[in-house]
Structure 1
């Protein structure tokens, strides 16, 4: 009877394992914090910084309306976030098509809320960077739950 072997990890998967390996050594009271959540938070912070950089450049160097600036930065960062989470964090080998469609739904919901919240907060006098951070905090958990349990659900991932 042939034995099933696990294919070797890719460089991205090894990096993801290294990035989150410390989460398995957390005290028992914090074991609910999974390596996947840690990876999602780290990658989300990185892509959020990319989003903010794009937003700052567009806000200071163009005359585009703020909702357009927010949307451009957000969509670019979410595209990068999808690729990084698929390869580095969730280590998915499932077909891309369905995942991209599901991730697009999450992205559009997040984009709508983020654009409205950021614009509204900026309109009432909150600096746009602070407004954008506040909106990001609100959608972060929703995005993780959607990515973990819908986009990159267990049966679509290599264990």
Structure 2
């Protein structure tokens, strides 16, 4: 398969994913269909999945391997957010802009996110005695709002 054929397949998959998100959004109750963007729903699904990957990796690194909480948070975070970038770029935002500048912006965004929410909120909660999974979930809620905003309006602003 050539590079062009691979790009066409990714584009088709992204278009099908977006079409599915549009259908689901139309069925949202309570007038939510008027305020929830298909990309927000796609972000929620993709990042819900990658957050589950993050928690599984966190458990493996912390409970399975005995790594310190900040190290376990960091390694799991970097791996999960790499997956999030790839899936959101291809499926949700369907970006065709050069990947290099986007990856650079994404790296800055995840660094800010990491320092503020993962180490800041997550580690602080763990340090005061909140169970590390729960502290990561609270930090995850904060990071979701920040990362969606950055991805939609800064990193993937070329999205269709």
TM bin (shorter chain): 0.7 to 0.9
Instruction: Return closer, same or farther for 1:94/1:123 CA change in 2, 3 Å cut-off.
Output: same
- Could you report, residue by residue, the CA deviation over 1:105-147 in whole angstroms, capped at 9, with x for unpaired residues? 1111111121222111111111000000000111111110000
Partner of 1:4: none
2: CA distance between counterparts of 1:144 and 1:89? 11
Cross-structure match for 2:150: 146
TM-score, normalising length: structure 1: 0.87
2:19 match: 17
* Cα offset, 1:64, TM superposition: 2.0
What is the aligned length?
150
Distance 1:93 1:66 in 2: 37
Query: How far off is 1:28 after superposition?
Result: 7.3
The residue number in structure 1 matching 2:5 is none
Partners of 2:30 and 2:70 lie apart in 1 by 43
The DSSP-based 3-state class of the residue aligned with 2:31 is helix
User: Following superposition, which runs of at least 4 residues in structure 1 exceed 6 angstroms of deviation?
Assistant: none
Q: How does 1:55-134 map to 2 (within 5 A)?
A: 55-113=58-116, 114-134=118-138
User: 1:78-115 deviations in whole A, cap 9, x for unaligned?
Assistant: 00000000001001111001110111111111111212
Q: How far 1:25 sits from its partner (Å)?
A: 3.7
Q: 1:147, 1:21 → 2: CA distance?
A: 22
Specify whether residues 100 and 149 from structure 1 end up closer, same or farther in structure 2 by C-alpha distance, changes over 3 A only: same
**Could you tell me which residue of structure 1 aligns to residue 51 of structure 2?**
48
What residue ranges of structure 2 are gaps of 5+ in the alignment? 1-7
Q: With structure 2 as the length reference, what TM-score do the two structures score?
A: 0.86
How far, CA to CA, are the matches of 1:27 and 1:131 in structure 2? 31
Flag structure 1 segments of 5+ consecutive residues without an equivalent: 1-6
Give the drift of 1:27. 5.2
Contact 1:66/1:119 (CA < 8 Å) preserved in 2? yes
Measure, in 2, the Cα distance between the counterparts of 1:125 and 1:27: 38
